Amino acid sequence: MRFHQVWDPDKDRRLEGRKPGSADTDIRRRAAIFGVNAYKGTGDLDEMLPHASLNEAIRKDWEKIRRFIPCRTSTFIETAPGMKKASIWNWGETHTTIDMPRFNGWYVPDGNPFSFPNGKQSVKEDPDALFLEMHDSQRGRIEGAIMRLNQSDITGRVVSISGGITIQTGVMIINTLDKKALLEKADQLEDSARLLVERLGGNLSDEEHAGLIEPILDQASFLRDLVKMSEHMRMKIPDTESK
> pLDDT of 99-133, one tens digit each?
999 889 999 999 999 999 999 999 999 999 999 99
User: Average pLDDT of 171-177?
Assistant: 74
SS3 content of the chain, % helix, strand, coil (to 5): 35, 25, 40
pLDDT in tens, 188-213: 999 998 888 888 876 778 888 888 88
Q: What percent of the chain has pLDDT over 90?
A: 40
pLDDT in tens, 41-90: 999 999 999 999 999 989 988 888 999 999 999 999 998 777 899 999 99
Average pLDDT, the chain: 78
Q: How confident is the model at residue 140 (pLDDT cuts 50, 70, 90)?
A: low
CA distance linking residue 67 with residue 188, whole number of Å:
30
Residue 152 pairs in a beta bridge with none
Number of other CB atoms surrounding residue 11 within 10 Å: 16
Q: How confident is the model at residue 219 (pLDDT cuts 50, 70, 90)?
A: confident
Assess contact for 73 and 49: CB atoms under 8 A: yes
Nearest to 37 by CA among 233, 182, 222: 182
Number of other CB atoms surrounding residue 60 within 10 Å: 14
Higher pLDDT, 137 or 187: 187
Distance of CA 14 to the CA centre of its chain: 24
The 8-class DSSP code of residue 14 comes to: G
